[in-house]
Amino acid sequence: MTASSTHSLLAQQAEALLAVEQRVERAKGQLDLAEADRQKLRERYRARLPLGVEIEVAGIRVKVSIAKTGARFAFAAYIKAGHKLTAAMRDFYSEPGERDAWLVRPGAERKAIGAR
């Protein structure tokens, strides 16, 4: 579906949206890879580091501590499973809202900006 002539963007504006969406997707991919690399290194080196003791190596400070995690409750999964919220739970629950949802992708006949 395309917009009518009263609601439109210039080609340059659409291309700018597409370019930034593609940058975001590339950055997310890089973040996922970096986080996986970090997890591998942490698993490999964890046995070498005593808990709660800060060490310094080559000017780099390193310390491993235990971080307590908080309790979590998945309201959406609870409701989807058919359960009802109690009166006490309602004080801590907010209904789902709305936000803009954007789709910015190259058209079928166009190559992605920057693609070779």
> Does 101 map to a domain?
no
Specify whether the CB–CB gap between 114 and 16 falls below 8 A. Answer: no
> Does 32 map to a domain?
yes
Cβ count within 10 A of residue 69: 6
Name the token pair of 81.
Answer: 């499973």
Name the token pair of 62.
Answer: 């390193």
Cβ count within 10 A of residue 38: 10
Number of structural domains in the chain:
1
Cα(90)–Cα(84) distance, integer angstroms: 10
**Which residue range forms the structural domain that includes residue 52?**
11-90
| pTM of the model as a whole | 0.57
> Does 100 map to a domain?
no
Mean pLDDT of 6-24: 91
> Does 59 map to a domain?
yes
Specify whether the CB–CB gap between 55 and 61 falls below 8 A. Answer: yes
Amino acid present at 40: K
> Does 99 map to a domain?
no
Q: Comparing 53 with 108, which gets the higher pLDDT?
A: 53
Residue 116's pLDDT is 45
Q: Comparing 47 with 114, which gets the higher pLDDT?
A: 47
How many helices (H) and strands (E) the chain has is answered by: 3, 2
